Amino acid sequence: MPEKPRYKSETDSKHEPEPLKIRAHHLCCIQGFQGYGYSPAFVANMRAVISDLEALPSRPLRLVTNCDAICVSCPSKRECTAQESHLSRRIKHMDLAVLDKLGIEDGAVLRADEAFQLINSKINSPSDVEDVCRTCKWRQKCIWYVQAGKSLS
Is residue 86 situated within a structural domain? Answer: yes
Q: How many domains does the chain have?
A: 1
Report yes or no on 118 lying in a domain: yes
Inside any domain, residue 9: no
Q: What is the pLDDT of residue 118?
A: 95
Residue range of the domain that includes 101: 17-152
The reply to whether 4 falls in a domain is no
**Other C-beta atoms within 10 Å of 83: how many?**
9
Structure confidence at residue 12 (pLDDT): 47
**133 within some domain:** yes
pLDDT at 19: 96
Q: Render each residue's pLDDT in the chain as its tens digit; 153 residues.
A: 444 333 333 334 456 779 999 999 999 999 888 888 888 998 999 999 999 999 999 999 999 999 899 988 876 766 666 566 777 788 899 999 999 999 999 999 999 999 999 998 998 787 888 888 888 777 777 767 666 655 444
Q: Flag whether 8 is in a domain.
A: no
pLDDT for 7: 31
pTM passes above 0.75:
yes
Question: Which long-range CB contacts under 8 A does 28-31 form with residues at least 24 apart?
Answer: 28/98, 28/119, 28/123, 28/132, 28/133, 28/142, 28/144, 28/145, 29/70, 29/138, 29/142, 29/144, 30/70, 30/116, 31/116, 31/120, 31/143, 31/144
Is 2 inside any structural domain? no
Specify the pLDDT at position 72. Answer: 85
41 within a domain of the structure (yes/no): yes
pLDDT at 56: 95
